[in-house]
Amino acid sequence: MKDDIVADLRARAKPWARGNRFEDFPVGRTFRHHWGRTLTAGDNVLFATLTLHYNPLYTNVDYARANGFAELVVCPLLLFNTVFGMSVEDLSEGGGPFLGVDGLTYHRPVLVGETVYAESEVVARRGTESRPEFGIVTWHTRGTDAKGGLVVDYQRTNLVRRKR
């Protein structure tokens, strides 16, 4: 009986696809990525401690205040990874390894409790002879704060799967 339910689901369900492929990235296309994310003290301390990032600006509010910050500073690598994470469904979830990042600038320190958003533009794409089923795409991604001010930006390059 339970197997009948699974067989029925397999027969009737239509995939709700996520992600894009190489052909979806004409140069100049822009993406306003989903959700936004409030970076909490819990996120920050967990990230800084699991990655062994021993700068007390990220884990000791007493030290952060003594150094001129009103709150714990968000570990910049958490900021980068969160902006990157929110861009993944639109840019790279369709399959293909992450190759590199260039020209990353942190425009200001972000404090715990702030909310960040992400957006991207396609800046280059090309084929690759060694892997005909993939192409190489480069995006410019911007992370912004709640007022739209730039907090981080970078160029990212990925191998991206082509449509079959």
Partner 1 sequence: MEQSRGRTSPNNYFEDFKPGQVIAHARGKTVTEMDNVLLTNMVMNTADGHFNEHRMQQQARGIPGFNTRIVYGGISFSMVIGLAAQDTGEQVLEERGMDKIRLRAPVHHGDTLYAFTEVLEKLDGDRGDAGIVRFKHYGINQDDKLVYEGERTVLMKRRSPVA
The SS3 assignment for 124 reads: strand
* # residues near partner 1 by CB under 8 A: 47
Stretch that binds partner 1, among 1-9, 21-29, 85-93, 136-144 (CB under 8 A): 85-93
Distance CA 110, CA 121 (A): 23
For residue 22, state whether it binds partner 1 (rule: CB under 8 A): no
For residue 77, state whether it binds partner 1 (rule: CB under 8 A): yes
Q: Which residue has the tokens 């260039």?
A: 102
Q: 119 exposed, middle or buried (CB, 10 Å; 0-12, 13-18, 19+)?
A: buried
For residue 60, state whether it binds partner 1 (rule: CB under 8 A): yes
For residue 46, state whether it binds partner 1 (rule: CB under 8 A): yes
Distance CA 160, CA 163 (A): 10
- Cβ 52 to partner 1, closest distance in Å? 4
**Which residues, other chains included, contact 153 with Cβ-Cβ below 8 Å and sequence gap of 6+?**
103, 104, 105, 107, 140, 141, 142, 143
Q: Which is closer to partner 1, CB of 80 or CB of 122?
A: 80
The residues binding partner 1 (CB under 8 A) are 18, 35, 37, 43, 46-48, 50-57, 60, 62-63, 65-67, 76-78, 80-82, 84-86, 88-89, 92-93, 95, 97-106, 109, 154
